Amino acid sequence: MNIGMGSVVVSKKKRFRAALDGQQGITLFELLIAVVLLGMISTMIYSVLNVGINFSARGGKHLESLAREKNLLSLLRRQVNGAWYDLRFGKVLITGRDGVLRIVTRQPLLHRKAGSVLAVYRINEAEHALYYQEKMDYFNTEYGENYLPDFSGMAKIYTADHPVALTYEPEKSRVVVNLDGEAFAFVPKCLPPGVTPNFSGGGQ
């Protein structure tokens, strides 16, 4: 009886070894092929994801740029519209030259409760940036047409990838700002009787 059981065990071992001998393991070549294929698939997936991420980043940057531009134009429109017309001198209190614009306006940005202020814009051509300063004592004679504030005492309110231009045309009583090759013109609402706003060459 024990002999029979022993022969059965030996027979099972032989079948097991035969089954093992019939199986082939993974060769080094097959392993290398699998690694290469995995690398190619990973690279393709990364490329697709990277394109999507870059596209989303560019779209977000463009929207942010449009928002900054819209805010700047809105601020300029409000301040130019609220510019003060001085009856003593018979002119709007807006001056500008050499990349500096000065507006005595009833639409402050920083000192909301000050009433009228002197808003000063200055362009930094090297940075393609626009700086801003606000003075409550707008009547100070030191802030005349030759007043040139230092950038260190101003706040940067706008930057762009392209040059920014900001000018005042007294003969047309309008402020013109150029952003990325597009011109926008703003005319004070306080123009004296008989003066007609001229919007040629720009948008309001």
Q: Is the pLDDT of residue 202 over 50?
A: no
> Degrees (nearest 5) of the Cα angle 63, 71, 66?
20
Q: Using CA atoms, how far apart are residues 90 and 79, in angstroms rounded to an integer?
A: 19
Q: Using CA atoms, how far apart are residues 175 and 95, in angstroms rounded to an integer?
A: 9
* Strand ranges inside 46-128, DSSP E: 85-86, 91-92, 94-97, 100-105, 117-124
Q: Identify the CA nearest to 68 among candidates 169, 198, 159, 197.
A: 159
Residues with Cβ within 8 Å of 192's Cβ and at least 6 positions away in sequence, in order, are 85, 90
Q: Identify the CA nearest to 83 among candidates 191, 194, 196.
A: 191
Q: Chain-centre distance of CA 43, in angstroms?
A: 31
Other beta carbons less than 10 A from residue 197's beta carbon: 14
Q: Is the Cα torsion angle 196, 171, 91, 73 positive or negative in sign?
A: positive
Mean pLDDT calculated for residue range 44-73: 73
Q: What percent of the chain has pLDDT over 70?
A: 75
- Does pTM top 0.85 for this prediction? no
19: three-class secondary structure by DSSP = helix
Q: Using CA atoms, how far apart are residues 72 and 141, in angstroms rounded to an integer?
A: 28
Q: Is the pLDDT of residue 44 over 50?
A: yes
Mean pLDDT calculated for residue range 8-34: 65
Question: Half-sphere exposure of residue 93, counting CA atoms within 13 Å on the CB side?
Answer: 23
Mean pLDDT calculated for residue range 121-147: 91
What does the pLDDT read at residue 5?
Answer: 52
Q: Is the pLDDT of residue 52 over 70?
A: no
Q: Using CA atoms, how far apart are residues 159 and 132, in angstroms rounded to an integer?
A: 12
- Most confident range (mean pLDDT) of 5-14, 143-152, 190-199 is 143-152
Residues with Cβ within 8 Å of 46's Cβ and at least 6 positions away in sequence, in order, are none
What does the pLDDT read at residue 137?
Answer: 92
Q: Identify the CA nearest to 158 among candidates 60, 72, 70.
A: 72
Torsion of CA 136, 152, 159, 97, to 10 degrees: 60
